[in-house]
Structure 1
Amino acid sequence: MKQINFIQKKATIVVGLLALVLLIACKLEEKSPEKKETVKTSTSAVRPLVIATWNTPLAVETAAKVLEKGGSALDAVEAGCRIEEANEKGQSVGKGGLPDRDGNVTLDACIMDDKGNYGAVLCVKNIKHVISVARKVMEETPHVMLAGEGAEQFAISQGFERENLLTEPSKKAWEKWKEKSEYKPIINIENHDTIGMLAIDKEGNISGACTTSGLAYKMAGRVGDSPIIGGGLFVDNEVGAAVATGLGEEVLKTVGSFLIVELMRQGKSPQEACEEAIARIVNKPNSDFKNFQVGYIAVNKQGETGAYSIHEWFSYNLYKNGENKNIKSDFILNRKE
């Protein structure tokens, strides 16, 4: 009898200990950080959608037409960027872009799809549609980035034609600049310096693209943020995407586009994320932000958008619910004394 009582007591202790272990485990789980859920597509998600830096209505309209016909977001952003690359009057993208200090027009571009694939070209001469070359790098090579002569040779092998990118107006502007040869970033007011474009197609997939001729009269070989993943562009199809414009050196120092997407992953809206990314630049010790411009645009999986810049004058085009509008961005100096 005593042995039976002993066994019963021992069993009771074991059960009690198991219950205590389970209770402690539950408490620890309650205290542990919750997993951050990505923004999920809902039935109210806006699609299709296109957003692009600066006043680029034709480029956005072109991309929107691709989407409305059932095309992919990747096809849309490529088609939209090609419009600006062929716009010789822009003097900052593609043919007619302002040259480096030696008189050479060199182009940078990158593209990123909904699967996380990425392609880029840097310092490319004589090829107008570098956004398409960047896509070829992504789809036809084992690499993600080609530069200089190698990128040009690859473009030719893919059927692209060489042409002189320095137009007469851009040549005259360069010759006038050489009279003093003063180099400093100029805060962009009327003209855009890069086209960055993001799109969501009817399937809810996100892609992005960015193309530029870079800073006018830059040092030969200079590359900014535009073709660099996480700097000028970043896409995460589970969360959203962001693209940058402005002084690339400052965007790269904070990996701005990647930062914005990660902030959205943590629950911030696209607008809140853009504002935080600009604040990171402005609030750096000894930041010379009053003398340069940076602007961001972003979109999340639900089709919510955001835009923010350091200075006034930054705008973006948005195609949403069948309307294509140019919208003036809010800016951080509007909130500072």
Structure 2
Amino acid sequence: MSNRRDFIKNAALGTLGFSTILSCENLVKEEELAPYHAIKTPKKPLIISTWNHGLPANEETWKQLKNGKSAIDAMEAGMRIPEADPKVRSVGYGGYPDREGKVTLDACIMDHNSNCGSVSYLQGIKHPISVAKKVMQNTPHVMLSGQGALQFTLSEGFKEENLLTAEAETDWKKWMEESKYKPVINMENHDTISMLVIDENGNISGSCTTSGAAWKMHGRVGDSPIIGAGLFLDNEVGAAAATGLGEAVIRTAGSAMVVELMRQGKSPLEACKEIVERIFTKHKNHKDMEYLQVGFIAINKNGEHAGYSLRSGFNYAVADAEYGNRMEDAKFKIAE
């Protein structure tokens, strides 16, 4: 495992446009469960987001923060980058469809005052994160779904468009030849982008957006739009967000439990690890176990951050003024 000296040597000092990937063995040893990236003074701003598509999302979010935008507006701008990228097959435009060939989207957003907005089972709208923000700001509700969500979206001036790209349609038709539903661990068929932000004032916000599991049943909703499952934060404590098989995260209220453990004094790494192991224990004999992968990212109020997953292969993007925008490999329970 890279030590802090190696990390500093390889990091991008002070330049957010530079990215570096840290490669290391990440099986956790008990003696390593001290506060991760321990910080004596709060680190802010700080952005952490899941997977490689978190790098460009972080970049835009950072730029918006530095231009004086609120964390919510900055996150929205950042998350719109992978939503609009047809090469990202698990988010927005170009995302893999359900088994009927329809792209359905889920997203949520939450601010430091615990205001939140969410949309699920939304079709034909490229930027569900922007709709989730409108739900938070312009309705008395937390979540809108399906046709009702679309009706609201159109009333807010959004335009419908076809989100199924030719490439995604080709892959769907190939899948239809056998029509076997079996998620592939760490492949882009269920990899949400989740983002957590600490702004200059030390306030925490979070968001998620996804096209969900490829080839899912029409109407399926995962953990990403569910506050407490795919995303949760408490501005007094910290925040957590999930990726992987949403059903397992929903069953355990995963992100809320990570935050609650941090409230009890655990570091982000300790909290993520405990909830991943709880999910493992509860799913040991479950039909999903052979392809189960879940991962969490978490930050606390001091700017400590961590990622932890059930199986190897999960990574996340981190951006701060000291080291720039870079990828870090999550620690994990099971080596694949």
TM-score interval (norm. to shorter) = 0.7 to 0.9
Where does structure 2 lack aligned partners over 5 or more consecutive residues? 1-38
Aligned mates of 2:300, 2:74 — CA distance in 1: 17
1:326 aligns with 2:309: no
User: Contact between 2:183 and 2:189, CA under 8 Å: does it hold in 1?
Assistant: no
After superposition, what is the alpha-carbon deviation per residue over 1:224-267, rounded to whole angstroms, capped at 9, x for unaligned? 00000100000111101000000000001110000000000000
Alpha-carbon deviations, 1:47-69, whole Å to 9, x = none? 00000000121111111112223
The equivalent of 1:44 in structure 2 is 41
SS of 1:332's equivalent in the other structure is strand
Equivalent residue, structure 2, for 1:39 = none
Q: Tell me which of the two structures has the higher relative contact order, counting C-alpha pairs closer than 8 angstroms and 6 or more residues apart.
A: 2
2:264 matched residue in structure 1: 266
Matches within 5 A, 1:220-299: 220-284=218-282, 285-287=284-286, 288-299=288-299
Deviations 1:25-78 (A, max 9, x none): xxxxxxxxxxxxxxxxx9810000000000121111111112223322212221
Q: Could you say what secondary structure the match of 1:132 adopts? A: helix
1:242–1:258 Cα contact (<8 Å) kept:
yes
Asked if the contact 2:90/2:188 (under 8 Å) is kept, the reply is: no
CA distance in 2, matches of 1:180, 1:311: 27
Q: Distance in 1 between matches of 2:289 and 2:202?
A: 36
| Structure ID, larger Rg | 1
> In the TM superposition, what is the alpha-carbon distance from 1:290 to its structure 2 partner?
4.2
Shift of 1:291: 1.9
Shift of 1:221: 0.3
Find the counterpart in structure 1 of residue 16 from structure 2.
none
Could you tell me how far apart the structure 2 residues matched to 1:240 and 1:75 are?
A: 20
Separation in 1, partners of 2:212, 2:261: 27
1:58 is paired with a residue of what secondary structure?
Answer: helix
Letter in 2 for 1:45: P
Alignment partner of 1:76 out of 74, 77, 84: 74
1:54-203 equivalent positions in 2, closer than 5 A: 54-55=51-52, 56-189=54-187, 193-203=191-201
1:205 matches 2:206: no
Task: Describe the superposition over 1:183-206 as per-residue Cα deviations: whole angstroms up to 9, x where unpaired.
Answer: 112112477711000001101111
**Is the CA contact (8 Å cut-off) linking 2:183 and 2:190 kept in structure 1?**
no
AA at the equivalent of 2:45: P
| Cα distance change on mapping 1:162 and 1:209 into 2, 3 Å | same
CA distance in 1, matches of 2:259, 2:187: 27
Could you say which residue in structure 2 is the equivalent of 1:302? 302
Q: Which moved more, 1:319-328 or 1:273-282?
A: 319-328
Aligned partners of 1:209 and 1:233 also within 8 Å:
yes
Name the CA distance, whole Å, in 1 between partners of 2:140 and 2:149.
14
The amino acid that maps onto 2:305 is T
* Partner in structure 1 of residue 19 of structure 2: none
Q: Output the CA distance in 1 between the equivalents of 2:256 and 2:65.
A: 25
**CA deviation vs aligned residue, 1:2-26 (integer Å, no higher than 9, x gap):** xxxxxxxxxxxxxxxxxxxxxxxxx
Q: 5+ residue gaps in structure 1?
A: 1-41
Amino acid at match of 2:316: Y
Q: Answer whether contact 1:126 1:164 (CA < 8 A) is retained.
A: yes
Shift of 1:212: 0.4
TM-score scaled by structure 2? 0.85
Q: Is the 8 A contact 1:111 1:119 kept in 2?
A: yes
For residues 324 and 153 of structure 1, do their structure 2 counterparts lie closer, same or farther at Cα, with a shift above 3 Å needed? Answer: same
Aligned residues: 294
Q: Residue 104 of structure 2 contacts residue 123 of structure 2 at CA under 8 Å; is this kept in 1?
A: yes
Partner of 2:15: none
Secondary structure of 1:154's match? helix
